[in-house]
C-alpha cells in the first residue's frame, strides 16, 4: 500500500501559539524528511484570494477548503502541519473520518494569556473574533492538549509533543530477536567482509580488542579476527550465534545477548567498538543507552566505528510509522538516523567525532546503493 502522509492539525484560538509551536514542530520534522508542507491560516488565506472572511459561515467554508487540501497532500505521502483556528466539531469530525493519518494538537491558553498577548489587537478592537463574539466548540478528543501560557518554552513543548505522538521512543525497547532468528536460520557465513569492515581495518592495524555490536552472520567479526584483532562478537539471535559457535574458533568470542546491556561489557576493556547497521535497529532510548555504555567500555582514545541508515535512505517512510523517523516495513523495524543528531549525541557523551559523512557508495548491495552514514568517534579522556 502506498505510504500516506500525516496531517498534524494545530488548533487553538488566535494568539494561542499555533504558529509558534506548529512552526517549530515543522522545522524539526523538515530537518528529518524532505516531504513536509506547512500551512498556516494567516499565510495561506491570502494565497487563496480574499473571498474568505471571518464570519462563522466564512470560517466553516474556509476550513472545508483547507482540510481538503491537507487530505490531498497526505494522500500523496506528504506530511502536513496545518495551523488554523477552525474550532468546529464538524470540521474535526470530517478530518478524523477522511484523513487516514490524522493528529490533532489543541493549544489551550487561559483567557488572561490571550488578553495579555493580544498581539493583533483582536481581543480589544476586533469583531468576528472567535472566543469573543463568535462561539467555538472546544476540542474534546484531541490527540493531545498543550497548555501554553508561557511557563514552558516552545522548544520544551515541541519536544513533549514529539514524545507523546511517538510513545515507543521511550516505552518499548525494540526486540527484533524473532526477525533475526528467521533471517539467519538458513543462511549463515557470507565469507566476504563488508566494505565498512575493510575501511575500519585501515584504522585498526593488527592487535587490540574489538567489540562487534550485532555481529549477525559473523562475516565482519571473522574478518577482524583474521587480521589479528581480539574480537568479541555479540548478537541477539541465538540461531546466528549457535551456528557461529559451531565453528569452534576461540577468536572471535561469540556471545548471544543484547549489546545494549551494560553488564555485557567491562569498563575500559575495548580499543574499538564496531556497529554496522545496528543503530537503526534500536529505538532512540536504546541508542542513548548504547552510546553511554560504549563510552564506559572503550579505553580512552578508543574508536567507535558506526555505519547506519540515514533519513535520506529510499526506504524512509515506507511501512507503518512507529516513532519519529522509525517505521515497520516488511515486518522489520528501522529507525532512520539524522547524522547531525547522532554526532551531537556522541559529542555530548564525551566522544570527539573525527569523521562523519552521509553518502552513496559506502554500502552497495546488489543494484541498491542507498546513502548511508559513516562515523568515526574517539572516546575522550574522563
Ligand atoms: N476577526 C478577525 N479579523 C481579522 N483577522 C482575523 C480575525 N480573526 C482571525 N483573524 C486572522 O486570521 C487568522 C486565523 O485564520 P484561520 O484560517 O486559522 O481561522 S479560521 O479557521 O477561519 O477560524 C488569525 O491568525 P492567528 O492569530 O494565527 O490564529 C488572524 O491573523
Ligand atoms: N511558550 C511560549 N512562550 C512565550 N511566548 C509564547 C509561547 N507561545 C507563544 N508565544 C507568543 O504568543 C504570541 C502568539 O503566538 P502565535 O504562535 O502567533 O499564536 P497563533 O498562531 O495561535 O495566533 C506570539 O507573540 C508568541 O511569540
Q: For position 35, what pLDDT does the model report?
A: 83
> How many Å apart are CA 235 and CA 221, to the nearest integer?
11
Same-domain pairing of 148 and 178: no
Q: Residue 188 corresponds to which cell in the numbers above?
A: 549463515
pTM, two decimals, is: 0.65
Domain that holds residue 372: 173-379
165, 191, 209 - which closes a domain: 165
Q: Give me the helix-helix angle, 154-165 and 18-30, nearest 10°.
A: 60
Q: Which of these, 29, 27, 6, 3, lies nearest to 336 by C-alpha position? A: 29
Kindly state whether residues 161 and 177 are assigned to the same domain: no
* Ligand 2 pocket test, candidate residues 12, 15, 122, most atoms within 8 A of CB: 15
Beta pairing class for 230-235 and 253-256: parallel
Given 122, 145, 165, which residue is the final one in a domain?
A: 165
The answer to whether residues 42 and 10 touch, using CB atoms and an 8 Å cutoff, is no
| Residue 135 Cα to ligand 1 middle (Å) | 14
**What Cα–Cα distance (Å) separates residue 151 from each residue in 35, 109, 271?**
32, 11, 46
Q: Is 16 in the pocket of ligand 2 (CB under 6 A)?
A: yes
- Does residue 346 belong to any structural domain of this protein? yes
Cell matching residue 217? 552472520
Q: Is residue 129 part of a domain?
A: yes
Joined grid coordinates for residue 168: 515507543
Which CATH number belongs to the domain containing residue 313 in this structure?
3.40.50.150
- Any domain includes 1: no
Q: Is residue 324 located within the same domain as residue 270?
A: yes
Tell me, yes or no, whether 365 lies in a domain. yes
Q: Are residues 191 and 111 in the same domain?
A: no
Give the closest residue (by CA) to ligand 1 atom 11. Answer: 42
Based on the fold, state whether residues 92 and 187 are members of the same structural domain: no
Residue 120 shares a structural domain with residue 208: no
| 150 and 235 belong to one structural domain | no
State the Cα–Cα distance between residues 23 and 82, nearest whole angstrom: 9
Same domain (yes/no): 40, 152: yes
158: CATH: 3.40.50.300
Count up the domains in the chain and report the number: 2
Among 334, 305, 300, 350, which Cα is nearest to 211's?
305
At what angle are helices 56-75 and 89-98 packed, to 10 degrees?
A: 10
Shared domain check, 354 and 332: yes
Distance CA 67, CA 305 (A): 46
pLDDT in tens, the chain (382 residues): 457 889 999 999 999 999 999 999 999 888 777 789 999 998 998 888 767 789 999 999 999 999 999 999 999 989 999 999 999 999 999 999 999 989 999 999 999 999 999 988 899 887 899 999 999 999 999 999 999 999 999 999 998 898 788 755 545 666 767 777 777 765 555 678 999 999 999 999 778 999 999 998 899 999 999 999 999 999 988 888 888 888 888 899 999 888 988 788 999 999 999 999 999 999 888 999 999 999 999 999 999 999 999 999 999 989 888 888 999 888 788 999 999 999 999 999 999 999 999 999 999 988 899 999 999 999 999 7
Q: What does the pLDDT read at residue 188?
A: 53
Residues with CB under 6 A from ligand 1: 14-15, 18-19, 41-42, 45, 54, 59, 62-63, 84-86, 120, 122, 126, 128-130
- Position 101 in a domain: yes
Q: How far is the CA of 57 from the centre of ligand 2 (A)?
A: 26
Q: 210 and 358, same structural domain?
A: yes
249 and 285 part of one domain = yes
What local confidence, expressed as pLDDT, does residue 242 receive? Answer: 86
Q: Which pLDDT score, from 0 to 100, does residue 25 have? A: 95
Does residue 157 share a domain with residue 180? no
335 in Cβ contact with 284 (< 8 Å): yes
Torsions phi, psi for 51 (to 5 deg): -75, -10
Amino acid at each position: 500500500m502506498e505510504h500516506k502522509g500525516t496531517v498534524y492539525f494545530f488548533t487553538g484560538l488566535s494568539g494561542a501559539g499555533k504558529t509558534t509551536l506548529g512552526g517549530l514542530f515543522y522545522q524539526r520534522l523538515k530537518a528529518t524528511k524532505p516531504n513536509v508542507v506547512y500551512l498556516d491560516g494567516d499565510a495561506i488565506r491570502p494565497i487563496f484570494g480574499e473571498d474568505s472572511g471571518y464570519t462563522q459561515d466564512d470560517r466553516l467554508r474556509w476550513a472545508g477548503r483547507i482540510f481538503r487540501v491537507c487530505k490531498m497532500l497526505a494522500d500523496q505521502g506528504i506530511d502536513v502541519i496545518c495551523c488554523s483556528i477552525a474550532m468546529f466539531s464538524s470540521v474535526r469530525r470530517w478530518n478524523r473520518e477522511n484523513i487516514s493519518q490524522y493528529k490533532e494538537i489543541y493549544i489551550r491558553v487561559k483567557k488572561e494569556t490571550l488578553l495579555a498577548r493580544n498581539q493583533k489587537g483582536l481581543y480589544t478592537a476586533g469583531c468576528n473574533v472567535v472566543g469573543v463574539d463568535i462561539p467555538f466548540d472546544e476540542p474534546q478528543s484531541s490527540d493531545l492538549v498543550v497548555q501554553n501560557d508561557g511557563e514552558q518554552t516552545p522548544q520544551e513543548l515541541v519536544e513533549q509533543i514529539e514524545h507523546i505522538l511517538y510513545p515507543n521512543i521511550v516505552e518499548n525497547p525494540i526486540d527484533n530477536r524473532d526477525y533475526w532468528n528467521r533471517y539467519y536460520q538458513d543462511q549463515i557465513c557470507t565469507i566476504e567482509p563488508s566494505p565498512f569492515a575493510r575501511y575500519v581495518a585501515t584504522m585498526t592495524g593488527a592487535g587490540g580488542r574489538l567489540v562487534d555490536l550485532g555481529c549477525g552472520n559473523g562475516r565482519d567479526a571473522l574478518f577482524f579476527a583474521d587480521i589479528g584483532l581480539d574480537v568479541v562478537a555479540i548478537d541477539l539471535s541465538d540461531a546466528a550465534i549457535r551456528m557461529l559457535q559451531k565453528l569452534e574458533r576461540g577468536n572471535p568470542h561469540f556471545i548471544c545477548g543484547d549489546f545494549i546491556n551494560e553488564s555485557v561489557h567491562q569498563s575500559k576493556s575495548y580499543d574499538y567498538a564496531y556497529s554496522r547497521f545496528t543503530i537503526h535497529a534500536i529505538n532512540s532510548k536504546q541508542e542513548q543507552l548504547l552510546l553511554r555504555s560504549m563510552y564506559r567500555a572503550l579505553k580512552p582514545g578508543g574508536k567507535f566505528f558506526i555505519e547506519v541508515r540515514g533519513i535520506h535512505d529510499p526506504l524512509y517512510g515506507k511501512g507503518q510509522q512507529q516513532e519519529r523517523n522509525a517505521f515497520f516495513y516488511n515486518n522489520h523495524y528501522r529507525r532512520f538516523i539524522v547524522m547531525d543528531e547522532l554526532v551531537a549525541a556522541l559529542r555530548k557523551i564525551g566522544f570527539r567525532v573525527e569523521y562523519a559523512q552521509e553518502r552513496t557508495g559506502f554500502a552497495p548491495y546488489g543494484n541498491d546503493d542507498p546513502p548511508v552514514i559513516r562515523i568515526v568517534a574517539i572516546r575522550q579522556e574522563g
